[in-house]
Structure 1
Amino acid sequence: MIPEFRTALVDFIHREAKPADKYGHQPRLYELTRQIGKSLEYDDDVVFAAVWLHDLGVFVGHRPEDPSELARWDHVSYICRQAPGILNRIGFPNEKIAAVLDAIREHQPQDEPTSLEATILRDADILEQLGAIGILRTVSKVGRDTRFQTFTHAIKTLQKHLDTLPAKIRLQSTKDLALPRISELRSFLEAVRSEAGENLF
């Protein structure tokens, strides 16, 4: 039986995720955490809550709209302030909230995770930045995100992901899942260079 807080959390994020394509990241990410953690012992409630809440601060309505403010925006600090109230309202176990906050604080590639739950979330989030999904998520932001004014900006970001993210993966199960994604991203970037040459804008 699915705990009520899980359904409530999914419903909350489904309502808040704007633009609408922001919603897909959460269910995909949770499925990746399950694949990564299949043979590991960890608190799935903590991972579930961290997965569904970690990006609240990047949704329209939660982030600043002014470009200069957005450039300085710390979405992790925002959700860490908001999460305890949200989790309490939906009946999430109070004794697990601190672990959820730790996982969210440590989920980005540059972070050093201090728990298995944070490591699983961080590894899964790295996977989402590789392969076909990583390409879709990045290229879809061209023209609507201040970081991606042109295709060239998107390609530079994807190349940086390919060059740096695989080495940051911690768990062997994640490394195995990453192999085809790395290959897909490398092939895509090679195809872009072949087709566009010096004329990609």
Structure 2
Amino acid sequence: MNLKTDIEQYAKDTLDGELAAGIDHFERVYSNAKKIAKKGEMNYDDQILHAACFLHDIEQDEPHAEKSSHVAEKFLKKINFPEEKIAPVKKAILTHLPNGQPTTDEGILLHDADLLDFLGAIGITRLSIAAWDWFNAKDMREVVKTLKKYRKVYSSLILDESKKLANNKIIVMDMFIRQLEDEMKI
């Protein structure tokens, strides 16, 4: 097996059954990161980006960025990932949250691609699941609050290309939230 396959299999096995932040999420984040990089003509190390995208949420307990970076380091050493690339993977993972301040191309790509996955139809679905799984929502009003809170991640996007990709997702999300609020008035 190669390193990419090892990383993907580890992520799949570790988060088997996780709907909101499992292997599907990692695949979308990696795909979006590469799409952003290509359109933005960014230089990045694909090995670092891939590992960061597939390991950034590997630990679900808070503080998950810190815990995920530690788990990633341990796992990457175990599979003989290039030693000089482990610190950049950890750095990208540590700065992927909405309030993160990534300074590397891989970190910026992970940050923006991860935030894009909170928006649009995918974001609505993930956040509806997460409202119960992560935030212990008690009713639909709390789900709406979660959707509104994460809709604001648009303002944390760093790259213009990411904002372009988010524009239609924001329209979908805004329409959904309005419709849901209207239906809840019944």
Residues 156-167 of structure 1 mapped to structure 2, 5 A cutoff: 156-162=145-151, 164-167=152-155
Task: Assess if the C-alpha contact under 8 Å between 2:131 and 2:146 holds in 1.
Answer: no
Secondary structure at 1:102's aligned position in 2? Answer: helix
In 1, Cα distance between equivalents of 2:161 and 2:133:
34
Cα RMSD after superposing both structures:
1.6
Distance in 1 between residues matched to 2:7 and 2:104, nearest whole Å: 22
1:125 aligns with 2:127: no
TM-score normalised to the size of structure 1? 0.85
| 1:44 Cα deviation from its structure 2 partner | 1.4
Alpha-carbon distance in 2 for matches of 1:116, 1:153? 35
From 68, 74, 84, the equivalent of 1:79 is 68
Q: 5+ unaligned residues in a row in structure 2: which ranges?
A: none
- Name the aligned partner's letter for residue 41 of structure 1: N
Decide which of 145, 165, 169 is 1:177's aligned counterpart.
165
Per-residue Cα deviation, 1:120-141 (whole angstroms, up to 9, x for no partner): 1100111011100110001123
Q: Structure 1 unaligned runs (5+)?
A: 64-72
Checking the alignment, whether the CA contact within 8 Å between 1:80 and 1:105 is kept in structure 2 is: yes
How far the C-alpha of 1:114 sits from its partner, in A, is 1.3
Give yes or no for the alignment of 1:189 onto 2:177.
Answer: yes
Residue 66 of structure 1: aligned partner: none
Equivalent in the alignment of 1:17: 15
Distance 1:26 1:149 in 2: 28
The reply to whether residue 148 of structure 1 matches residue 150 of structure 2 is no
Partner of 1:88: 77
Q: Distance in 2 between matches of 1:152 and 1:93?
A: 47
How many angstroms apart in 1 are the aligned matches of 2:163 and 2:78? 37
Query: CA, structure 1 residues 145+79, in 2 after alignment: closer, same or farther (shift >3 Å)?
Result: closer
| Structure 2 counterpart of 1:105 | 94
The amino acid of 1:28's aligned partner reads R
Q: Is residue 2:16 matched to residue 1:28?
A: no
How many pairs align?
182
Work out the CA distance in 2 between the residues paired with 1:144 and 1:46.
30
Q: TM-score, normalised by structure 2?
A: 0.91
